[in-house]
Chain A
Amino acid sequence: MQRATRNPVYNARIPSMFHTRCARICCLLFSLLLLPLESRGDQWQSPVIQLAQKIVAATGPGAVACDLTNRSSLGNTTADEIHRQLLGELESLNVHAAPADQAAATVHVTLSENLQNYVWVAEIQMGNSQSSVVMVSLPRPQEAVAERSVGLLTVHKALLWTDDNRILDVALPAENPPHMIVLEPETVVLYELQSGRWQQQQSLTIPHSQAWPRDLRGRLVLQKDHLFDVYLPGVFCRSTPAAPLGINCRESDDPWPLAPRQFPLNAFFAPKRNFFTGVLSPGIQKQTTTSPFYTAAALPRDKYTLWLLAATDGQVHLLDGLTDQTAKLGWGSDIAGVRTGCGTGWQVLATATNADARDTVEAFEIPDREPVVVSQAVEFDGSIMALWADSDSATVLAVMQKSETGKYEAYRLSLTCGQQSDFDGDR
């Protein structure tokens, strides 16, 4: 079967255009008023108008039978809404809906999509003549999915920031007005909360002569005498103590702090890799070396601090100053300690992948040397790229790369005692 293609043309402006436009606006306003608030599709208005104009250019005014098929990822409610808007728009252009046997033309609209765009196609059949095809395309938005978190000890996740660039770490200094510092591979970006929105105040470039390693990692540490320090593989940066804010960076293999200030333990980071070498400074009592590891979590005990290190060989090392025990716990590479006051007071958050291949974070306690799960797993829509305890250990910063969009999202994870059934709205 052959299908003819007609170049789309616009109708000439007609004398009654003003009245037609008024009628069209009234029609649109009326139809919008009838819609529920959440489904008002202002975003569809422009492509609907474009498609209607293209259809009318082919059919001219009169009666048409118009149906619609949705083969895109849009929901049926949205497709119905687009259909209603399209019929309204056609009506305002003097094209009236009619049954097929009474119509001068049939218009079959298909909502489709490709890799980047929605593609709306109208196949127009005028009597026995060859059919023509008109199309419009519009970028596909990147949709978000909200998640629910339920558990005996509940892990809450609150979205802090979304970015196209990789987010390495985020810090929220205790300041008024609130500020947020975002560490990216090439910049440190400072935001201020203004009228409920984060507004970028400053972007500080991080100079570095060597290419960053893959799976780049970085740490943002808030300080008292100056705003922050930045640790990156082979590079250390310190913010200037006085205004205007700047940073001074140098090539450095200084050890990175592993945990908040109350646990003074640092470790050397391999400058061309994504892990800590295993050399500790100043050490856990007499233990100054261990296996290479990705992340660490501190769990204070009565008389010592138990350190958990997620090693590069997939095992977890438990260091108490005397012994270095290893265990295969099935945890991911990212762990962080968090102080909650629930249970024994401190928990470890650890990443994993669930049966649906989604990354998760769940909380554990280590009453002896065996971990005990103390929360339901909270799911993420992508890969967790970083998990860092914040400066007071009360919350944990998680960075995720969304599977669908590739965008990076930073979340603040906190734990509350008891089972809750709240809705953690990401958006």
Chain B
Amino acid sequence: MKLTGFLLLAASNLILTATAKAEIRPHYGGTLHVAMRAAPSSLDPAQPDWFGSRNLYPLIFDTLVTLDERGRPQPALATSWEAEAGNQRWQFHLRQGAVFQDGAALTADAVAASLRAANPSWKVVSASNGVTIERDSAAPDLPAELALPRNSMVKRDSGKILGTGPFAIMQWDPAKKLVLAASEDYWGGRPFLDSIEIEMGKSVRDQMISFDLGRTQIIELAPEQAHSALGRDRRVESSRPLELVALVFTADAQSPEESKQREILSQSIDRKLLNTVVLQEGGEPAGGLLPDWMTGYSFLFPVEMDLTRAQQERAEIARADLWNLGFDVNDPVERVIAERIVLNARDAGLRLQLATQNPVDVRLVRVSLTSPNGRVALRGLCAALGLPQPAFGGDSVDDLYAAESALVKSRRVIPLLHLRNVTAVSERVRGGREMPAGNWPWTNVWLTPEQP
């Protein structure tokens, strides 16, 4: 091969080389600046989920099990586990060498105490190298359940909260600011970042200004902002749909007529319009409670508006009750959705009015899906919505569908939309990828060196 041949090829490839990005190895060091809307007053994972908690808790706390990118349980603080026949009694073997951020070793007793505090109905017994968990009934999804943030290992010491996670709390101004520092001897390896600073309670507008000024590297966006933000040279990451928007009635229907009215209301709502116009395709219309990526069968729940049928069925009812529709007055998207629902209902001959305070008959809610495991997620939704816990006949996909279908048919809840989490991310942020539960393992995030 002559050298001139190589040079010719070099010339032809010069442009390609010039435009290629370097694939560089992870870089240790630096501080990641994050802003979020939520303003939690406590970092205790026992409190109900709040928007952003799924990203924050894994920085400070570990769970016995984590879920991989396909939702499969993987070892974390537990290195292995096994169930006895019937899946009611489980044994988890603990990792050696994990320590709380005060240096105290994670013991089986500490694990048992932590799990008992989060789950008073569980029977948790510590042994020499692990814990045994006994449930009231078969719990085939226990490993996935243990991956939930509320089952994090927590040491509560005179008002202080400690975890075994990859970062330690350096500064905590409740609802305002959290500063975390990398734990040098973390059992999973020291994080790439030196520290993370999280500004809380920031409006989307403030977050965007901070981002554009280069002060913040990760900010939250509203689902409807995904497209507009894309046009401004930001890297925008959209998750799978991870949040349910639904109407939840405060009580079961008291008569067949009321049940019929709820059915009519569901038929009258134009979910596709809500998604395309109000949310700018920031989600997906939902007829079921769980999103399609989780179940594969969501198409069985219809999402099409059927106004003709709704009006016909309305005509079969003598009179329609007046319902007060509650919503979060601080959430502009909720207000727009609620207003559209009132209009849709009116077209079908129903009577709804917006209510900014109690009592309400039906409430518009946004609830995060806590797990990529369908059964765990459905249980979490029911708990968050105040619905009866679902009854699963078994652990097959048919059983999941049957349980979800029964909840939808009960008409206590009318699913409307599944929303994506949207974040704007600086080009300097590398590493990690969003997991199916919507958490982004910032432990694996690293920052490219600043250009001189």
Contacts and interface: CB of A to CB of B under 8 A. Distances in A.
Interface in A365-380: 365, 367, 372-377
Contact of B297 (A2, A119, A331, A375): A119
Interface string B1-28: 1010111011001101111111111111
B190 A314 contact: no
Given A352-B20, A373-B9, A373-B17, A3 B405 contact: yes
Interface in B287-308: 292-297, 299-300, 302, 306
B6 A152 contact: yes
Contacts of B295: 114, 119
Interface in A335-382: 342-344, 351-355, 359-360, 365, 367, 372-377
A71 interface: yes
Contact of A418 (B1, B294, B444): B1
A349 B405 CA distance: 56
B185 interface: yes
Interface in B160-200: 184-192
B296 A114 contact: yes
Given A343-B6, A372-B7, A312 B23 contact: no
Interface of A is mostly: loop
Q: How large is the interface on B (under 10, 10 to 19, 20 to 34, 35 or more residues)?
A: 35 or more
Contacts of B409: 2
B71 interface: yes
B18 A330 contact: yes
Nearest to A417: B1
Given A123-B300, A372-B10, A116 B20 contact: no
Contact of B23 (A112, A118, A119, A332): A332
B206 interface: no
B190 A214 contact: yes
Contact of A406 (B3, B69, B374, B396): B69
A5 to B, nearest CB: 5
Contacts of A12: none
A343 B396 CA distance: 61
B297 A135 contact: yes
Contacts of A198: none
Contact of A121 (B13, B69, B297, B302): B297
A374 B9 contact: yes
A381 to B, nearest CB: 14
Interface string B336-374: 000000000000000000000000000000000000101
B315 interface: no
Nearest to B185: A211
B386 interface: no
Contacts of A277: none
Contacts of B9: 151-153, 373-375
Contact of A333 (B10, B24, B444): B24
A367 B3 contact: yes
Contacts of A117: 296, 397
Contacts of A104: none
Given A115-B71, A133-B300, A314-B24, A211 B97 contact: yes
B23 A153 contact: no
Contacts of A333: 22-25
B67 to A, nearest CB: 10
A19 B152 CA distance: 58
Contacts of A203: none
A354 B401 contact: no
Interface string A313-340: 1100000000000000011111000000
B99 to A, nearest CB: 11
B32 to A, nearest CB: 15
B402 interface: yes
Contacts of B21: 330, 352-353
B25 A215 contact: yes
Nearest to B301: A3
B1 A153 contact: yes
Interface stretch (A93-101, A234-242, A267-275, A299-307): A267-275
B305 to A, nearest CB: 12
Given A213-B189, A216-B189, A352-B22, A273 B405 contact: no
B6 A137 contact: no
Contacts of A330: 17-18, 20-22
B298 to A, nearest CB: 9
A216 B211 CA distance: 32
B3 A343 contact: yes
A3 B299 CA distance: 12
A309 interface: no
B188 A294 contact: no
Interface centre among B5, B294, B396 (most CB of A within 10 A): B5
Contacts of B405: 3, 5
A116 B72 contact: yes
A7 interface: yes
Interface string B415-452: 00000000000000000000010000000100011000
Nearest to B266: A1
A275 B70 CA distance: 31
Contacts of A216: 189
Contacts of B212: none
A216 B402 CA distance: 45
Given A314-B22, A332-B22, A373-B10, A5 B402 contact: yes
B401 A153 contact: no
A113 interface: yes
Contacts of A418: 1
Contacts of A152: 1, 5-6, 9
Contacts of A374: 6, 9-10
A373 B14 contact: yes
Contacts of B374: 114
A213 B22 contact: no
B398 interface: yes
B23 A114 contact: no
A134 interface: yes
Contacts of A377: 16, 20
Nearest to B240: A115
Interface centre among B7, B27, B294 (most CB of A within 10 A): B27
Contact of B13 (A110, A332, A373): A373
Given A152-B1, A294-B25, 15 more contacts: A7-B393, A71-B299, A112-B296, A115-B293, A116-B70, A116-B71, A214-B188, A214-B191, A214-B192, A314-B449, A333-B23, A360-B20, A374-B10, A377-B16, A406-B68
28 contacts: A1-B306, A3-B405, A7-B393, A7-B402, A71-B299, A112-B296, A112-B299, A114-B292, A114-B296, A114-B374, A115-B372, A118-B296, A134-B398, A135-B401, A152-B6, A152-B9, A211-B189, A213-B190, A214-B189, A274-B25, A312-B27, A331-B22, A351-B23, A352-B20, A354-B16, A367-B3, A373-B10, A375-B9
